[in-house]
């Protein structure tokens, strides 16, 4: 019989592994991580990085706490469909096959102007500058959820490097193209136009990988229409005290990234510890504090933030001498900040231009 509370982490991606690491540090839990794969896929750098791990299967796992971190699947082949289990060797072969198809294709069509579509287009051009690459997207801009500067930079880079970008074009018929399997196809747009290429990547339709829980999460509002797991601000699954969901598979409205999946995982892991101790849980969006490139999560940063906010308001809003002094200091500090932002903005612009030029000039 277990002497320590058992935590089952489902999914060994960015979120699952971060949570397991956080909990293991406490030495207070028996942590089991479950994943059908026998390797870790570094998705942002797909298709290159694989690190071997261990796999387990066929057991029923009892738990005191569970953390669901099964991520998402894409139609493009950057991740295999959730119901397709590929070994490391099969996955490497899949990447090699896609690479061979790119080698052979004279024209490549990418459908989807989100981060995945833009990245796939840029990667292909970076390595194969002579390919005819076209990217179509249904929205009026690329990267529609992102900052205007990011949109502008991506559109400019792709244009300068020869990608034909067509916005406001929606595909209604995929011409037999299946998910996860880029191939030659002729597609039809909602306006009835036909577009074809030697190789078409379907970079639309990211879906939470939650089919596994569909039967267990039948309660009101537990799964969103897209299949994401609904969570409370504490990252507890709606209707469950001891089950948390983090990363790409939950309904938190944020740009889903590996970085944020890791932060949420740490918050959920800390909440398991708090729950176990009978203490109040922290709320995810409130307990993340970004200091430069360093993201801190937890109740401590949240309290620091609140404390500094309180001190700041008391200092600056008063009418006495010291408040006047603080106001002068804040003015000075703001002046320096503005200068710094301008200087960094210029440096970032120069670096971005250099990166774009460097990428364009890089050999195939």
- Interface ranges with ligand FAD (CB under 6 A): 10-16, 34-37, 43-44, 46, 69-72, 74, 78, 82, 116, 119, 209, 212, 247-249, 256-259, 261
CB of 105 or CB of 209, closer to ligand FAD: 209
Q: How many CB atoms lie within 10 A of CB 344?
A: 11
CA-nearest of 284, 273, 282, 202 to 250 is 284
Query: 7 and 23 in contact (C-beta within 8 Å)?
Result: yes
Cβ at position 95, least distance to ligand FAD in Å: 12
CB of 39 to ligand FAD, least distance (A): 9
CA distance 315 to 318: 6
Task: State which residue, 97 or 193, has the beta carbon closest to ligand FAD.
Answer: 97
Complex with ligand FAD: residue 46 or 165, whichever CB lies closer: 46
Q: How far is the CB of 206 from ligand FAD (least distance, A)?
A: 8
Which residue stretches of the chain are H helix? 14-26, 88-104, 115-127, 148-160, 258-276, 299-317, 321-361
Residue 314: both structure tokens together: 């008391």
Kindly provide the b/e burial profile for residues 268-297, where b requires at least 16 CB atoms within 10 angstroms of the residue's own CB.
Answer: bbbbbbbbbeeeebbbbeebbeeeeeeebb
Residue 5 or 11: the one with the smaller Cβ distance to ligand FAD is: 11
Q: Which CB, 46 or 142, lies closer to ligand FAD?
A: 46
Tell the smallest beta-carbon distance from residue 349 to ligand FAD (Å). Answer: 21
| Residue 20 beta carbon to ligand FAD: minimum distance, rounded to whole angstroms | 11
Task: Give the nearest distance from C-beta 117 to ligand FAD in angstroms.
Answer: 9
Query: Which ranges in 34-87 belong to alpha helices (H)?
Result: none
CB closer to ligand FAD, 102 vs 326: 102
**Tokens of residue 129, six digits:** 């500058």
**Sequence-distant (≥ 6) Cβ neighbours of residue 253 within 8 angstroms:** none
Q: For residues 72 and 222, which CB has a smaller minimum distance to ligand FAD in the complex?
A: 72
Give the CA distances from residue 23 to residues 30, 187, 285, in Å, rounded to whole numbers and listed in that order. 9, 48, 20
What Cα–Cα distance (Å) separates residue 145 from each residue in 151, 186, 203? 9, 28, 16
Least separation in angstroms between residue 330's CB and ligand FAD is 34
Closest residue to ligand FAD, based on beta-carbon distance: 13
* Residue 212 Cβ vs ligand FAD, minimum distance, rounded to whole Å: 4
For ligand FAD, which is the closer residue by CB, 57 or 140? 57
Residues 6+ apart with CB under 8 A from 172: 188, 189, 190
Nearer to ligand FAD, 250 or 270 (CB): 250
Q: Do 157 and 119 meet the contact criterion of CB atoms below 8 Å apart?
A: no
- Secondary structure (DSSP) of 154-212: HHHHHHHTT-EEEES--EEE-TTPPTT--EEEEEEETTS-EEEEEEEEE----EE--GG
Cβ 325 to ligand FAD shortest distance, Å: 42
CA-CA distance, 258 to 255, in Å (whole number)? 10
């Amino acid at each position: 019989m277990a002497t320590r509370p058992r935590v089952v982490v489902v999914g060994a991606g960015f979120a699952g592994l971060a949570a397991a690491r956080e909990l293991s540090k406490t030495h207070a839990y028996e942590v089991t991580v479950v994943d059908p794969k026998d390797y870790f896929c570094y998705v942002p750098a797909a298709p290159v990085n694989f690190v071997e791990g261990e796999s387990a299967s066929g057991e029923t796992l009892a738990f005191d706490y569970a953390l669901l971190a099964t991520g998402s699947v894409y139609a493009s082949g950057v991740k295999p469909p959730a119901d397709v289990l590929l070994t490391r060797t099969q996955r490497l072969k899949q990447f090699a096959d896609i690479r061979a198809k790119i080698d052979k294709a004279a024209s490549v069509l990418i459908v989807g102007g989100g981060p995945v579509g833009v990245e796939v287009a840029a990667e292909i051009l970076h390595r194969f500058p002579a390919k005819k690459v076209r990217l179509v997207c249904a929205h009026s801009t690329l990267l529609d959820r992102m900052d205007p500067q990011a949109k502008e930079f991506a559109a400019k880079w792709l244009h300068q490097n020869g990608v034909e970008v067509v916005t406001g074009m929606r595909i209604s018929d995929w011409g037999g193209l299946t998910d996860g399997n880029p191939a030659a196809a002729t597609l039809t747009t909602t306006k009835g136009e036909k577009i074809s290429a030697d190789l078409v990547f379907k970079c639309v339709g990211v879906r939470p990988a939650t089919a596994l829980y569909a039967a267990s999460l039948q309660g009101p509002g537990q799964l969103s229409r897209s299949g994401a797991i609904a969570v409370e601000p504490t990252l507890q699954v709606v209707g469950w005290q001891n089950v948390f969901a983090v990363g790409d598979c939950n309904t938190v409205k944020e740009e889903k990234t590996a970085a944020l999946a890791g932060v949420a995982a740490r918050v959920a892991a800390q909440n398991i510890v708090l729950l176990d101790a009978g203490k109040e849980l922290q709320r995810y969006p409130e307990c993340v504090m970004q200091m430069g490139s360093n993201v801190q999560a937890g109740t401590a940063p949240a309290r620091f933030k609140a404390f500094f906010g309180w001190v700041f308001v008391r200092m600056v809003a008063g009418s006495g001498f010291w408040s006047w002094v603080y106001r002068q200091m804040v003015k000075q500090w703001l002046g320096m900040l503005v200068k710094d932002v301008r200087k960094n903005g210029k440096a970032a612009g120069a670096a971005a231009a250099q990166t774009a030029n460097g990428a364009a000039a890089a050999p195939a």
